[in-house]
Amino acid sequence: MAVLRADRAIPDSVVRHRLDGETALRYLLIGLFGLFLYLFVLYPMAKVLWRSLLDNDGAFVGLANYVRYFSTPAIAASITNSLYVSVVAMVVTVFLAFLYAYALTRTLMPWRGVFRVVAMLPIFAPSLVQGIAFVYIFGNNGIWTRLTDINIGVYGAKGIIMAEVFYCFPHAMLILIAALTATDARLYDAASALGASRLKTFRTVTLPGVKYGLMSACFVVFTLVITDFGAPKVIGGKFSVMATEIYNQVVGQQNFTMGATVSVVLLIPALVAFVVDRLIQRRQYALVSSSAKPLEPRKNPLAEWSLFAYCFLIAASIAAVYLVILVVSLVERWPYRLAFTLKHYAFDTVGGYTPLLNSVYVSALTAVGGTAIVFIGAYLVEKWRTRASAPLYALSLLPVSIPGMVLGLAYIFTFNVPGSLLNRLYGTLAILVISNLIHYFTVPFLTATTSLRQMDAEFENVGSSMGVPFYKTFWRVTVPIALPSIIAISMYFFLNAMVTLSAVVFLVAPGTELAAVAVLLMDDAGDTAQAAAMSVLIIATGLMVRFAYGGLMRGVTRRTQAWTATATDQVALMGTGSLK
């Protein structure tokens, strides 16, 4: 082992290599990546923080805004409301999703594939779609209410929680499926050899094994709910949460200062959840050894059929939600005129199909540009260690903890500045692309990093030893090997950009309306049938794109099968385009 020997004076600096064109290019690219993150992450966030310390006229007031926020009962209530809704939705979602994931991974019950697919549906819909559906089902004049005459009082916390549970269900389910799959059958063999009862085995083997998965699911759901804006907007009624409060402060009252203040407060729980989640994930690696045996579920008719009934119920409810949306969009006037019509799809009131086309265009640009920036950025950070690597890595992880609304607001502060060159971006599709790209930056970045880390660290060195420029090796070796991850990343970007609302709602401008925002505005204006129709189109687009990507992935996998057997393993995690 190398040892510490302080007595010899070895200079701290290293002998510098002559700066050749290649190295210069690399530094330039690293610099550009750094500037990109600075300009679109760090600088805007600093602006929000700074803005929360100013009054509406731009004078520095210290923490006065925070004092006002916490001392105005009407606004401060949004904090406790947000926490309440998030915690309840978290507990319910994780509980339901755990049972569901357990049934899918640990039993041989029929229809497992169908159940899995159906449970993924909410990923393809903006969160407010769930809200709209629940109004149609449990609203004062909803199907359920009309049929049973029982009004559950859906407007408010109850409705928000229900909508969020549906919205977050697939995200929690995916994490828990991964956790339940990564187990060691030998533990179960040992437990049964020791004569442990089913319940005891569950308590002493199953639960501890998925402990980290459960925690991770909790944090993901908590963050999704507390930062979500769509569902509370649609179904919250008078119940105000922090995300809607930001929207009301900013859009309704153009009170940017209070918007910034609420934003900074909203950052805290999201940031905490993120940090804890990272710490947990770091620990989970050690849990399953490489010699682990996968668990083969055993037949158990009683448990299977009860779990089948449970999954059927959940899957049917999820399917019902989207069926309601579909039906509502196709009838004349729910619930008074039920004749079939396509007129709600004409969108003759709101710029026609422009928002949808814009959305597809923006999503495609996000997919292409985001994938390129994320992958090249991760490559530069991971493969060319410099002093900038650690800060760039940290900056790349930061976006996941920035709620979309906060990012959008930060971009207003950054780009809506008269006379600034940055102002050129304001009101363009480009800024929507960038905000999506940053909003969903971290998960793809981590995927790219993982995929790059799995590659031999010496590829670049082999190339440069033979005088092959790094960009050629990147293009001929790194990219082809990482192709499955790259495809997964671009799909993740596309699908998320298609449904996101919070990151773009402040940034749309005349001519750059997006589909999800159109849903919001139509619902706001009371045109719910059209909102449902637009939702159907968003979901349909997402499903088609997902389908196309599935085909693409199969093609790539087939082609790469010749040289690798493990090309798809990490795609499983992102394959659905979920996990924010």
Partner 1 sequence: MRRPGNRLTTLVLGAAVLCGAALAGPALAKDTVVIYTAIESEQITEYKKAYEKALPNLEVKMLRFSTGDISARFMAEKDNMQADVIWGVAATNTLIFKNAGLLEAYAPKGLERVQPLFRDKANPPSWVGIDIYMSAFCVNTEVAKKKNLPTPASWGDLTKPVYKGHLVMPNPHSSGTGYLSVASILQRMGETEGWKYLDALHQNMAEYTKSGSKPCKDAAAGERAIGVSFEYVALEMKKKGSPIEMVLPKEGSGYDMEANALTKKGAKNPAAKAFLDWAISNEAMALYAKYFAAVGVAGFPVPEGLPKDISKVVYPNDFDWSAKNRDRILAEWQKRYAK
Partner 2 sequence: MTGSWPSGRSGTPSSVASRPPAVELDGIAKKFGEVIALESVSLWVGEGEFVCFLGPSGCGKTTLLRVIAGLERQNAGVVRMRGCDVSALPPSERNYGIVFQSYALFPNLPVARNVAYGLETRRMPRAEIERRVDELLDLVHLRPHKRRYPAQLSGGEQQRVALARALAPSPSLLLLDEPLSALDARVRQALRVEIKALQRRLGITTIMVTHDQEEALTMADRIAVMNHGVVEQIGSPVEIYTEPSSLFVARFVGHMNFIRATACERPGWVRVGSVELRHRPGPTPPAGTRLTLAIRPEEILIGPAVRDGENRIVTRICAMQFLGAFTRLGLALPGDTGPTLECDVAVNALAEVGAREGAELPLVLNPEALRVFSDGD
Report 358-377 residues binding partner 1 (CB under 8 A): 365
Closer to partner 2 by CB, 420 or 561: give it. Answer: 561
Binding segment toward partner 1, per CB under 8 A, in 31-39, 97-105, 436-444, 448-456:
31-39
Q: Which does 338 bind (CB under 5 to 8 A by kind): partner 2, partner 1, none?
A: none
Least spacing, CB of residue 72 vs partner 1, in Å: 9
CB-count burial class (<10 Å; 0-12, 13-18, 19+) for 285: exposed
Q: Is there a contact between 185 and 211 (Cβ–Cβ < 8 Å)?
A: no
Give the single-character DSSP code of 39.
Answer: I
Beta carbons within 10 angstroms of residue 555's beta carbon: 11
Please choose which of partner 2, partner 1, none residue 481 contacts, taking the beta carbon within 5 to 8 angstroms, the exact cut-off set by kind.
Answer: partner 2
Give the separation between CA 248 and CA 258, rounded to whole angstroms: 10
What gap in Å lies between CA 156 and CA 235, rounded to an integer? 6
Q: Identify whether the C-beta of residue 45 lies closer than 8 Å to the C-beta of residue 402.
A: yes
Alpha helices in 202-255 (DSSP H): 207-209, 211-227, 230-235, 242-247
Of 193, 191, 185, 220, the closest CA to residue 203 belongs to 191
CB 160 within 8 A of CB 85: yes
Choices 232-240, 292-300, 454-462, 502-510; region in contact with partner 2 by CB under 8 A: 454-462
Q: Going residue by residue from 279 to 318, which x/- string records binding to partner 1, judged by CB under 8 A?
A: ----------------------------------------
Residue number with CB closer to partner 2 (1 or 339): 1
Is 341 within 8 Å of 332 (Cβ atoms)?
yes
Distance CA 86, CA 89 (A): 5
Burial 344-380 (b: 16+ CB within 10 A, else e): bbebeebbebbbbebbbebbbbbbebbbebbbbbbbb
CB of 118 to partner 1, least distance (A): 28
Question: If contact means CB under 5 to 8 A according to the sort of partner, which of partner 2, partner 1, none does residue 349 touch?
Answer: partner 1
Q: Residues in contact with partner 1, total (CB under 8 A)? A: 65
Does residue 357 interact with partner 1 by CB under 8 A?
A: no
The span from the CA of 86 to the CA of 160, in Å, is 9
Which residue's entry shows tokens 């589909």? 515
Residues 516-535, interacting with partner 1 (CB under 8 A): 521-522, 524-528
Site for partner 1 in 390-429 (CB under 8 A): 416-418, 420-429
SS3 286: helix
Q: Token digits for 65?
A: 């805004």
Closest CA to 131 of 484, 532, 505, 462: 532
**Cβ-based nearer residue to partner 2, 292 or 479:** 479
Of the candidates 518, 488, 247, 233, which has an alpha carbon nearest to the alpha carbon of residue 360? 518
Least Cβ distance, residue 454 to partner 1 (angstroms): 31
Task: Verify binding: residue 80, partner 1, rule CB under 8 A.
Answer: no
By a kind-dependent CB cut-off of 5 to 8 A, residue 428 interacts, out of partner 2, partner 1, none, with partner 1
Binding test (CB under 8 A) with partner 1, winner from 189, 332, 456, 569: 332
Choosing among partner 1, partner 2, none, which partner's interface includes residue 416 (Cβ < 5 to 8 Å by kind)?
partner 1
Q: Which of 98, 102, 155, 493 binds partner 1 (CB under 8 A)?
A: 155
Stretch that binds partner 2, among 1-9, 185-193, 361-369, 401-409 (CB under 8 A): 1-9
Cβ within 8 Å of residue 234, ≥6 positions away:
128, 131, 132, 135, 163, 520, 523
Tell me if 456 contacts partner 2 by CB under 8 A.
Answer: yes
CA dist., res. 151 & res. 159, Å (int): 12
Between residues 3 and 199, which has the closer beta carbon with respect to partner 2? 3
Provide the CA 572 distance to its chain's centre, in angstroms: 16
Contacted entry of partner 1, partner 2, none for residue 456, CB cut-off 5 to 8 Å set by kind: partner 2
Please tell me whether residue 29 binds partner 2 under the rule CB under 8 A: no
Q: What mask of x and - would describe binding to partner 2 in positions 535 to 574, judged by CB under 8 A?
A: -------------------------x-xxxx---------
Of 176 and 376, nearer to partner 1 (C-beta) is: 376
Q: How far is the CB of 448 from partner 2 (least distance, A)?
A: 17
How many residues in total does the chain contain? Answer: 580
- 480 forms part of the interface with partner 2 (CB under 8 A): yes
Q: Which amino acid is it at 456?
A: D
Burial of 29 (0-12, 13-18, 19+ CB in 10 A): middle
CB nearer to partner 1: give 26 or 233. Answer: 233
Binder of residue 426, out of partner 2, partner 1, none (CB less than 5 to 8 A by kind): partner 1
Q: Which is nearer to partner 1, 214 or 260 (CB)?
A: 260
CB 276 within 8 A of CB 260: no
Which option in partner 2, partner 1, none does residue 151 bind, with CB closer than 5 to 8 A by kind? Answer: none
Nearer CB in complex with partner 1: 132/537: 132
Distances (CA, A) of 262 to 101, 244, 250: 36, 10, 10
How many Cα atoms occupy the beta-carbon half-sphere of 63 within 13 Å? 5
Cβ neighbours of residue 552 closer than 8 Å, sequence gap 6 or more: 487
The residue ranges that bind partner 2 (CB under 8 A) are: 1-5, 8, 10-18, 20, 22-23, 456, 458-459, 461-469, 472, 476-477, 480-481, 560, 562-565
The residue ranges that bind partner 1 (CB under 8 A) are: 32, 35, 38-39, 42-43, 46-47, 50, 60, 73-75, 77, 135, 139-141, 155, 237-238, 240, 248, 251-254, 256, 332-337, 348-351, 365, 416-418, 420-431, 433, 509-511, 521-522, 524-528
